[in-house]
């Protein structure tokens, strides 16, 4: 069996934040979730997370993770962190140690590490870096066998030329790990229990040491500062953008696309610049999304066109819909097929039947609108009486004239017409015309006031 230990107890002082480091977000997920997602794809494993800084904030922020949480009350180093959990791990397991602040590690690399660990007592994940500054270097003999790790501070000039670095991640036989942890001391610059010191012990005891290397150096980059977080975010966004393009999505500029969640996408989808996708979004075939749109937790049907500067949040947009520019579709809105929603229209908890039109400057909230209804410019559903929300129900083929207020709760029957400027306070029968207007009068020869 494989036991995975994710170290996540550090505060991350250089983040300059009250939030524990592993709770910072990268592409909409916490750093810890990224590591968890990669680790949880490994077969027959148990995952332990060592948390500490910020108290139970970290476990509370991750109720969905299938892990056992282990508290490290004081952060006395990476070796000390692993000591907190080692007694819960069966002696015959292999223990894989991962870092909660190294978010882009991939399943493929972990799988490779697990595989390589089968033939060894201790297997290190290393990486070749163009600039290895700050990392521990891997020392090898003529035949490539690992001799040890030398930390930057202790390295000779020749050793500093070595570009193969220790990522800190490793897989170790549980029984040996426990034995080595028991011998760790704190005689080092930081006075901490360094997990990495077990490598020297393994060399001394002539244990079988092996290593495997991550494909991309970025996979093993840790997040210590906001600048590093931003760097990894951009890198990850580009990977996602390229994955979407390989599925056939047209991105006008992959450097100006952000996905913070999951996107399921059909064919011939075109996405213009500065579009942000959040949560869980599905997009059908032949969909076009204009610049500067935010789409969160939404289901977008086939042949939909979303024009610039629209926000869609927790909504369903039926096939052939046209949204925006400048539309705001708020939660629990469901548009049937062929609905057009235009500029400066806000919809909230609204259902709109097939071929409905709400083209200009309207607020429609807590409403049910039938098929082929036309909602004129400046229509407002007055859904809130100051204490409670009420519903507006509009039938099929209703024509609502411009600048109408519908004071909910109210119903308008099928085929009814509402004259422009009407305040609808009572139900309107099917087929009727409702109009409430002060009659127009004309004052002939009216003289405008003159400036004195």
81 binds ligand UD1 (CB under 6 A): yes
Binders of Mg ion among residues 207 to 236 (CB under 5 A) are 222
Pairwise CA distance, residues 350 & 191, whole Å? 61
CB of 306 to ligand UD1, least distance (A): 40
**Hey, is 165 helix, strand or coil?**
strand
Spatial CB neighbours of 287, under 8 Å, sequence gap ≥ 6: 266, 268, 269, 270, 300, 301, 302, 303, 304, 305, 306
Q: Cα-flanking dihedrals φ and ψ of residue 272, to 5°? A: -80, -175
Give the residue nearest to ligand UD1 (CB): 10
Residue 26 burial (C-beta neighbours within 10 Å; 0-12, 13-18, 19+): buried
Q: Select the binding partner of residue 77 from Mg ion, ligand UD1, none (C-beta < 5 to 8 A, by kind).
A: ligand UD1
Q: Select the binding partner of residue 97 from Mg ion, ligand UD1, none (C-beta < 5 to 8 A, by kind).
A: none
Residue number, 217 or 421, with CB nearest to ligand UD1: 217
CB of 226 to ligand UD1, least distance (A): 15
Pairwise CA distance, residues 112 & 432, whole Å? 73
Binders of Mg ion among residues 311 to 330 (CB under 5 A) are none
**Hey, is 290 helix, strand or coil?**
coil
The tokens 């070595």 sit on which residue?
162
370 binds Mg ion (CB under 5 A): no
Which one of residues 78, 336, 392, 404 is an interface residue with ligand UD1 (CB under 6 A)? 78
Beta bridge partners of 276: 258, 294
Residue number, 81 or 304, with CB nearest to ligand UD1: 81
126 binds ligand UD1 (CB under 6 A): no
403: left (phi over 0), alpha (psi -120 to 50) or beta: left
Cα 143 from chain centre: 45
Annotated catalytic residue within 24, 133, 221, 360: 360
| Nearest to 88, CA basis, from 58, 68, 109, 114 | 68
CB of 222 to Mg ion, least distance (A): 4
Q: Cα-flanking dihedrals φ and ψ of residue 117, to 5°? A: -70, -20
Residue 129's alpha-carbon distances to 145, 160, 220, 223, 227, in angstroms, are 19, 12, 10, 16, 19
Binders of ligand UD1 among residues 14 to 53 (CB under 6 A) are 50
Per-residue string for binding with ligand UD1, 140-179, x by CB under 6 A? --------------------------xxx-----------
The tokens 């953008």 sit on which residue?
241
Q: Select the binding partner of residue 166 from ligand UD1, Mg ion, none (C-beta < 5 to 8 A, by kind).
A: ligand UD1
Pairwise CA distance, residues 260 & 276, whole Å? 8
Residue number, 226 or 437, with CB nearest to ligand UD1: 226
Rounded to 10 deg, the angle between the 174-182 and 197-204 helix axes is: 110
Q: Is 360 a catalytic residue?
A: yes
Stretch that binds ligand UD1, among 58-66, 191-199, 227-235, 252-260 (CB under 6 A): 191-199
Could you tell me how many residues of this chain bind ligand UD1 (CB under 6 A)? Answer: 24
Which one of residues 195, 339, 369, 398 is an interface residue with ligand UD1 (CB under 6 A)? 195
Stretch that binds ligand UD1, among 72-80, 246-254, 297-305, 326-334 (CB under 6 A): 72-80
Residue number, 23 or 380, with CB nearest to ligand UD1: 23
86 binds ligand UD1 (CB under 6 A): no
Q: Select the binding partner of residue 345 from Mg ion, ligand UD1, none (C-beta < 5 to 8 A, by kind).
A: none
Residue number, 10 or 413, with CB nearest to ligand UD1: 10
Residue number, 101 or 164, with CB nearest to Mg ion: 101
Pairwise CA distance, residues 211 & 126, whole Å? 7
101 binds ligand UD1 (CB under 6 A): yes
Residue 101's alpha-carbon distances to 97, 285, 443, in angstroms, are 12, 37, 76
For strand 68-71 and strand 45-51, is the pairing parallel, antiparallel, or unpaired?
parallel
Give the residue nearest to Mg ion (CB): 222
Which one of residues 2, 5, 8, 393 is an interface residue with ligand UD1 (CB under 6 A)? 8
Residue number, 51 or 307, with CB nearest to Mg ion: 51
301 binds Mg ion (CB under 5 A): no
Pairwise CA distance, residues 148 & 170, whole Å? 14
Retrieve residue 433's tokens: 């015309």
Residue number, 134 or 145, with CB nearest to Mg ion: 134
Q: How many residues does the chain have?
A: 452
136 binds ligand UD1 (CB under 6 A): yes
CB of 225 to Mg ion, least distance (A): 10
Contact set with ligand UD1 (CB under 6 A): 7-10, 50, 72, 75-78, 80-81, 99-101, 135-136, 166-168, 194-196, 222
Residues that bind Mg ion (CB under 5 A): 222
Please identify every residue annotated as catalytic.
Answer: 360
């Amino acid at each position: 069996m494989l036991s995975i230990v994710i170290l996540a107890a550090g505060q991350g002082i250089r983040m300059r934040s009250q939030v524990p480091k592993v709770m910072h977000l990268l592409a909409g997920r916490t750093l810890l979730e990224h590591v968890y997602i990669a680790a949880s794809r490994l077969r027959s494993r148990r995952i332990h997370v060592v948390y500490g800084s910020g108290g139970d904030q970290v476990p509370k922020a991750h109720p969905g993770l299938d892990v056992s949480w282990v508290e490290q009350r004081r952060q006395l180093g990476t070796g000390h962190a692993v000591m907190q959990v080692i007694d819960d791990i069966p002696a015959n397991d292999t223990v894989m140690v991962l870092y909660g602040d190294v978010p882009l590690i991939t399943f493929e690399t972990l799988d490779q590490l697990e595989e390589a660990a089968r033939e060894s007592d201790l297997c290190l994940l290393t990486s070749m870096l163009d600039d290895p500054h700050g990392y521990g270097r891997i020392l090898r003999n003529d035949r490539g066998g690992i001799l040890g790790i030398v930390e930057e501070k202790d390295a000779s000039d020749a050793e500093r030329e070595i570009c193969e670095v220790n990522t800190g991640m490793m897989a170790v036989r549980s029984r040996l790990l426990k034995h080595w942890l028991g011998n760790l001391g704190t005689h080092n610059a930081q006075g901490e229990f360094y997990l990495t010191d077990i490598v020297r012990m393994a060399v001394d005891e002539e244990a079988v040491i092996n290593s495997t290397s991550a494909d991309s150096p970025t996979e093993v980059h840790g997040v210590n500062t906001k600048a590093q977080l931003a760097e990894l975010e951009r890198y990850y966004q580009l990977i996602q953008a390229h994955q979407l393009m390989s599925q056939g999505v047209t991105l006008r500029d992959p450097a100006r696309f952000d996905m913070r969640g999951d996107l399921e996408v059909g064919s011939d989808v075109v996405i213009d610049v500065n579009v942000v996708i959040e949560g869980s979004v599905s997009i059908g075939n032949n969909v076009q999304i204009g610049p500067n749109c935010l789409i969160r937790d939404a289901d977008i049907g086939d042949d939909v066109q979303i024009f610039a500067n629209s926000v869609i949040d927790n909504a369903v947009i039926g096939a052939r819909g046209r949204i925006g520019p400048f539309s705001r579709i708020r939660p629990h809105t469901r548009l049937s097929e062929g609905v057009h929603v235009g500029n400066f229209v806000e919809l909230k908890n609204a259902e709109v039947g097939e071929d409905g039109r709400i083209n200009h400057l309207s607020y429609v909230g807590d409403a049910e609108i039938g098929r082929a209804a036309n909602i004129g410019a400046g229509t407002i559903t007055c859904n809130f009486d100051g204490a409670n929300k009420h519903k507006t129900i509009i039938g099929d083929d209703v024509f609502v004239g411009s600048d109408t207020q519908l004071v909910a709760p109210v119903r308008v029957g099928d085929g009814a017409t509402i004259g422009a400027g009407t305040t609808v306070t009572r139900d309107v029968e099917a087929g009727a015309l409702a109009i409430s207007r002060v009659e127009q009068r004309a004052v002939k020869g009216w003289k405008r006031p003159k400036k004195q």
